[in-house]
Chain A
Amino acid sequence: MSGQEDAANLLEVRGLTKIFGSLTACDHINLEIAKGEIHALLGENGAGKSTLVKMLFGSLEPYSGEIFWNGEPVRITSPGVAKKLGIGMVFQHFSLFEALTAAENIALSLDDGSPISSIAAKARALSYSYGLPLDPNSLVGDLSVGERQRIEIIRCLLQTPQLIILDEPTSVLTPQEADKLFETLLRLRDEGKSILYISHRLEEVKRICDRATVLRHGKVVGHCNPREETASSLARMMVGNEVQAVVREPAKGIEQAPVLLEVRNLSRRPATPFSIPLRDINLNVRAGEVIGIAGVAGNGQGEFFESISGEVRQQERASVRIRGKDAGDLSITGRRLLGAAFVPEERLGHGTASNMKLSENLLLTRHATDGKAFVGTGGSVRAGAIYTAAQRIIKEMDVRKSEPDPEAAALSGGNLQKFIVGRELDRNPAVMVVNQPTWGVDAGAAAHIRQALIELARRGSAVLIISQDLDELFEVSDSIAVMHNGTLSQPMPIAEASFEKIGLLMGGAETGHQEQTLETA
């Protein structure tokens, strides 16, 4: 503690660099975090935020550069060292055992041999004092995502850290749960703790953060006070240029348009102990319309997508109807032949085969629908035709790549997603179902994809978008329905919808008692 007098900064980072192969993930990063501030680390996906944080928490070793803690140079060689210094971290992807209780999970990471009962008591006391009520004896498997995050935060706080790092904490929370979290963070700050808050959500950064450091392509492009900036000026710093806003003309006369995708009393039993059953889902998507499905991750969206796409078939033929024809018992190929197209959430290994070329990945979803164009006599593949078609899609969607026909895994997430969406758009499908269209995609590519989906609808297709990003759904949807615990609410026209209302539904408020819930809330 010798450098205490001159160390107004709790943590200071100078010239921190990390290189992966040919990629410089972090390039001479400078960062200062003062005591008692909430410091935002802003940047798009792939800007180097996670890499930087992993170096601060000791899970990655820096290539070069220095880290000062309370003014003294330190080497953080492992997460254990970071914890001893007083750095705690709440990860974006939780590391909890579902079959254990909250207290047992906390005990595992404390690693000091104190009995579970005393840990549980401490955790309970701490959780109530910070307004994060938590029952330490509940099984993690039974808890909601927001509650699981509380375990992570409590676990972190029990180690009395001076610096708490939170990686995208609100990406899995409802707006109401996020509000709760912000209160806790502000209280922690007032107690003199420092917080490094990683996010790409500009509004919340403006709301709670005192200072911000913006990263782009592994470099620091600026330090600023987010309260003095506008969301668009912050976005410009993150992206490097103005992102074109998505234009959505109001759809006209949709009520009269034919229903192209119809879901009737769709139910499904859980396939595994940890998956969600679908309960009596009904939905109509009309020609020309974009319907968004909001919901916190893990409320049945994946199961719903599988059932609509036909990766899992239904017993009831009429539970899914595409362009007026029963499709419930059809395979995914059969549904594609009826004019439907699907984009799954996972890009590598589901939407594409990662070690195959883009042209081969084009064949993946279109070998049946474009059979004549792509498959010749006796089942031979027309390599020239799929290559030409792949190049057409690459050009149309502005897919950036280093060689003419690279393997899917060689593309960045955003560019691969543009290709996957473009692959289906190129068919001009009558029904398009997309799960998480822009998850992990940079802002420029996301705008491109969203615009393309809106235009597809306006040309007369039915578009269904499942997303956990409310901003995105409000940008593209004509109506928004909410999925919660395997049920789907009535779609709410966008003119009537608000973050507040959708957020309540995401948290499980019943559709019928909406007004009432609002009053009590």
Chain B
Amino acid sequence: MMRLELVKRPQRSVLFSMLSPFIAFVLTVIAGSIMFALLGVNPVKAFYTYFISPVTQVWQLHELAIKAAPLILIAVGLSVCYRANIWNIGAEGQFILGGIVGSIIPVMYPDFQSPVVLPLMLILGMVGGAAYAAIPAFLKARFNTNEILTSLMLVYVAQLLLDWMVRGPWRDPKGFNFPQTVLFSDAATLPQIFPDSGRANWGFVFALVAAVLVWILMSRMLKGFEVRVLGSSPRAGRFAGFSFNRMVFFAFMLSGALAGLAGISEVSGAIGQLQPSISPGYGFAAIIVAFLGRLNPLGIVAAGLVLGLTYLGGEAAQTALGVSDKVARVFQGMLLFFVLGCDTLIHYRIRLVGLMAAAPKAEEAH
């Protein structure tokens, strides 16, 4: 008889905190192979289709950047929340509100065309996301509600609000009754970075800049220290003179602003108008990205690219293998599951204990 025993490490393992995402990725591939085999698809071919074929050409790399940009932007903001032990699950809603509020100018004043339009849209997007995130923050600070529930439920409110806007007041009058707004003018469109080689827009640059800035904030600034202290030992944080309620607002509104920026960047860069749905679940996938990237903004850039790949792989697999694009969601779920599981290794090591080997000394005593 053997049994597994978790033995607490004296200190957190730096090695496993680096390795854990990779182990999780390997486990995901193994579990994915079993799934493909059960679906009757050759796993090797499936994985090639999923993870290699979408990045073999330059224009495909642009597509990857388009998918990764919102994931990185949102996840970087979420990492600040999660480090502070504040559970913002509503980034999807903040993303949508960013898209809606950022679109006020191109939808309501389509004739207002000037170089300031785009910066104004981006700022409005951030304001929209931050304001929407301030709702669960207020409820938590004032009434001590559970922010996981309130922020999550506000996602559905945001989705229905968007749906109503594009079918109702903001519907394009010349759009043959399709539920969508007017197409944005050039002045209101986020430009492409290298238009010659592909579609990737400046949203990806925003994501990289945000990652670096938040990394500096968290590792070099007193504010980041405050986030980490309040997240890991709230009582020590109070002893230090930091206010948890103020931190709730800071973390929620920062992540809301970044999600809002992602939302308006997606609408004005990749889509070009508002539609009933503007996100394939970026706000939720970003939760996975945040954890896969170890809540470290630089790690999140890498994790965002991996998750972006599962979206592209899902599309490729749908056409090449004929499997449902829901498989991409399954991959994302497995990845999060294994990442959280492997995190155990940071604080614990696994020991194999033979029951027979431990017992004999005691058996003699009988």
Contact = CB atoms under 8 A, between A and B. Distances in A.
A352 B229 CA distance: 9
A229 interface: no
B326 interface: no
B12 interface: yes
Interface residue tally of chain B, by bracket? 20 to 34
A194 interface: no
B365 A350 contact: no
A385 to B, nearest CB: 13
Contact of B220 (A74, A351, A380): A380
Nearest to B233: A353
Contact of B225 (A332, A336, A363, A409): A363
Contacts of A64: 361
A43 B334 CA distance: 51
Contacts of B7: 21
Given A353-B233, A353-B236, A356-B232, A368 B241 contact: yes
Contacts of B228: 353, 356
A375 B222 contact: yes
A381 B222 contact: yes
A35 interface: no
Contacts of B237: 353
B223 interface: yes
B235 interface: yes
Contacts of A350: 233, 235-236, 239
Nearest to A375: B222
> Interface on chain A toward B: helix, strand, loop, or mixed SS?
mixed
Contacts of A380: 220-222
B358 to A, nearest CB: 9
B10 interface: yes
Nearest to A333: B241
B3 interface: no
A309 B240 CA distance: 11
B222 A367 contact: yes
B235 to A, nearest CB: 5
A360 B222 CA distance: 10
A271 to B, nearest CB: 13
A56 to B, nearest CB: 15
B45 interface: no
Interface in A367-418: 367-368, 375, 378-381, 383, 407, 409-410
A22 B223 CA distance: 37
A365 B229 contact: no
A66 interface: yes
Interface in A22-78: 22, 64, 66, 73-75
A375 B229 CA distance: 16
Contacts of A309: 239
B241 A349 contact: no
Nearest to A310: B241
A311 interface: yes
A442 to B, nearest CB: 20
Contact of B236 (A21, A364, A378, A383): A364
A381 B235 contact: no
Contacts of A311: 238-239
B11 interface: yes
A412 to B, nearest CB: 12
A354 B233 contact: yes
A351 B239 contact: yes
Contact of B235 (A75, A349, A378): A349
Contact of A336 (B229, B232, B241): B241
Interface in B208-233: 220-223, 225, 228-229, 232-233
A368 B12 CA distance: 30
Among B222, B232, B239, B362, chain A packs the most CB atoms within 10 A around the CB of B239
B221 A379 contact: yes
A368 B366 CA distance: 64
Contacts of A73: 365
A66 B235 contact: no
A228 to B, nearest CB: 36
Contacts of A344: 239
Interface in B312-366: 361-362, 365-366
B345 to A, nearest CB: 16
A311 B221 CA distance: 24
A171 interface: no
Nearest to B239: A350
B236 A349 contact: yes
A355 interface: yes
A242 interface: no
Contacts of A367: 222, 225, 240-241
Interface in B45-99: none
A331 interface: yes
18 contacts: A21-B10, A22-B10, A66-B365, A75-B366, A331-B241, A332-B241, A342-B239, A344-B239, A350-B233, A350-B239, A351-B239, A353-B237, A356-B232, A368-B241, A380-B220, A381-B222, A407-B11, A409-B11
Q: Which 3 A-B pairs have the closest CB atoms?
A: A333-B241, A353-B233, A353-B236
Given A332-B239, A349-B233, A407-B11, 8 more contacts: A21-B10, A332-B241, A342-B239, A353-B237, A356-B229, A379-B222, A381-B221, A410-B11
Interface of B: 7-8, 10-12, 220-223, 225, 228-229, 232-233, 235-241, 361-362, 365-366
